[in-house]
A and B are shown apart, each in its own frame.
Chain A
């Protein structure tokens, strides 16, 4: 079956630090990959996505590259802000009707001023 593994937090960084959140996956076929973000008390928002190998998704300064050879989709940002504090979820969608999205366990990111 499908699975997503991501580093668990909390991850605490200082403002303007470089961020990497690791994500690896196991899936049959060629899934689409996503990063979702959940701010405190809110629902999930799509942060970025990639639908095929070597695609790079980017949004709000965040980037992730679909690496088929390493089955990875690591999230990076060059300079984080306090407002980036949230829970980040890596997810995959393989198109199975009953499967929906398979999520990682989420990484709680805390940015200190």
Chain B
């Protein structure tokens, strides 16, 4: 069984479009995240969501909006896509936010290409 699964794996779309990436975890974790990996492989957190509380990273444009229908799902919706949004987006989950619970389990990633 896949612990953290995200779909689609690849997404190619035109500038200006709106798209969503879905994520589900079956680990029973309380906290889920979205990370962005740029072309140089640098990973940076975008959002974390803990027990229905969204914690926003202020460096993320408001075109990006996470949506969590329940504790096991955290989807990422992106409006008005730009060329600079091209990256690999990773969903992850952890047991909690305390220091001993920060081990994260990652999905396989979604490679978004904006043309």
Chain A residue, CB-CB nearest to B98:
A95
Q: A51 an interface residue at 8 Å Cβ cutoff?
A: yes
CA distance A61 to B38 in the complex (A): 29
Contact code string A74-113 (vs B, CB < 8 Å = 1, else 0): 0000000000000101000111111111110110100000
User: Which residue of the partner chain, among A32, A98, A101, contacts B57 with CB atoms under 8 Å?
Assistant: A98
Size bracket of the A interface:
20 to 34
Q: A97-B50, A100-B35 are in contact. Are A43 and B107 (CB under 8 A)?
A: yes
CA distance A102 to B41 in the complex (A): 14
Q: Which of B44, B55, B99 has the most CB of A within 10 A?
A: B99
Contact code string A41-58 (vs B, CB < 8 Å = 1, else 0): 011111001010000000
Q: Which of B41, B44, B102 has the most CB of A within 10 A?
A: B102
Please give the distance in Å from A103's CB to the nearest CB on chain B. 4
- Would you call A100 and B45 a contact (CB within 8 A)? yes
CA distance A113 to B97 in the complex (A): 42
- Would you call B99 and A94 a contact (CB within 8 A)? yes
- Would you call B42 and A106 a contact (CB within 8 A)? yes
CA distance A102 to B97 in the complex (A): 13
CA distance A103 to B50 in the complex (A): 20
Chain B residues with CB below 8 A from A29, complex form: 99
CA distance A43 to B90 in the complex (A): 8
CA distance A51 to B101 in the complex (A): 10
Chain B residues with CB below 8 A from A101, complex form: 45, 102, 104
Q: Enumerate 19 A-B pairs (CB-CB under 8 Å) in ascending A order.
A: A38-B41, A42-B108, A43-B106, A43-B108, A46-B105, A51-B100, A93-B102, A97-B53, A98-B45, A98-B55, A98-B57, A100-B33, A100-B48, A100-B92, A101-B45, A101-B102, A102-B45, A103-B43, A108-B41
Since A97-B55, A100-B104, A103-B42 are in contact, a sample of 9 more A-B pairs with Cβ atoms closer than 8 Å, ordered by chain A residue number, is A31-B102, A44-B90, A49-B103, A93-B99, A97-B97, A98-B48, A101-B104, A102-B45, A103-B44
Closest 4 CB pairs of A and B: A93-B102, A95-B99, A98-B55, A100-B45
